[in-house]
Amino acid sequence: MRISKMWKAVAAAVSAGAASLVTALDDGVITTQEGVTAGLAVLAALGLTWVVPNRQPSADA
């Protein structure tokens, strides 16, 4: 299965943002600080995942 660099980064960003927002919604309200934290989690996941290259398939597969 081949996943492009872009879709790998999008999936990581969505999951990081969702995890951050689920934690923030524990009390039913999202504060400014929690919103900023969720935004930074999305940006960090996008950036870090984009930089890491996909592994090349092995000759055995």
Residue with tokens 């960003």: 13
CA–CA dist 50, 44 (Å, integer): 10
**Cα 26 from chain centre:** 20
- 10-residue block means of pLDDT along the chain (61 residues)? 77 94 92 95 91 76 55
Domain ranges of the chain: 5-51
Closest CA to 50 of 19, 16, 11, 1: 11
Q: Which tokens belong to 34?
A: 């929690």
Q: Which H/E stretch holds residue 39?
A: helix 32-51
Phi/psi of residue 52, each to 5°? -75, 120
Identify the pLDDT of residue 1: 56
Identify the pLDDT of residue 40: 95
